[in-house]
Structure formats: structure tokens, C-alpha cells
Amino acid sequence: MQVLYSGQVQGVGFRYQTKQVATGYEVTGVVRNLADGRVELVAEGEDGELREFRRAIRESGLGSLIKDEVEIWSEANCEFRGFAIVP
């Protein structure tokens, strides 16, 4: 699952909070700032777990900072170990 978040999502701890939320789910992936001001989340896991993870991100207090989110689904590549913040 790839999600592109826009709004007031950079410089407010969005990536850190997303990583904290990830610890409660069986997901792997990365979260990073993009040059255009958005934040990109790429996560792999079971479908239901990913959907719950995404919901938990919004409910963690980050929902008020998100103006829009674009969700893109594709097959997992099994390329991640753990969940990390990347530059």
C-alpha cells in the first residue's frame, strides 16, 4: 500500500508518529517527506492489517493535519524489514 498525504504533514512529527503507530501492527515499510511537501507512506502486510494501520494513523491525532490522501495498492515486493523513517 502506498499513501501520499498532503496538508500540514511536514515539520509536525508526522513521520515519527506514523512510525510509532506502526509498532502496533504487523506491517513493514517506510515513511518519508517528499520535495513537494507531501509525505509518502509505503507499507506491506495483510490487507486488513494495512487498512487498520491507515485508520490508526488518522486517529492518532494526525487526522487534523491531513488535507488529502491518495491511496495506491499493488502487490507486495517483500522488500522491507521493519518500519523506518527514511530521508
* Helix (H) or strand (E) run with residue 41 in it: strand 39-44
Q: Is the pLDDT of residue 31 over 90?
A: yes
- Measured in residues, the chain has a length of 87
How confident is the model at residue 46, as a pLDDT? 95
How confident is the model at residue 76, as a pLDDT? 87
Task: Give the domain range for residue 43.
Answer: 2-85
- The CATH number that applies at residue 53 is 3.30.70.100
**Is the pTM higher than 0.85?**
yes
Number of structural domains in the chain: 1
The string of pLDDT tens digits covering residues 41-86 is: 999 999 999 999 999 999 999 999 999 999 999 988 888 999 999 9
What residues act catalytically?
15, 33
Task: Output the nine-digit C-alpha cell for 9.
Answer: 504533514
Tell me if residue 67 falls in helix, strand or coil.
strand
| Separation in Å, CA 36 to CA 25, 40, 47, 65 | 28, 11, 28, 16
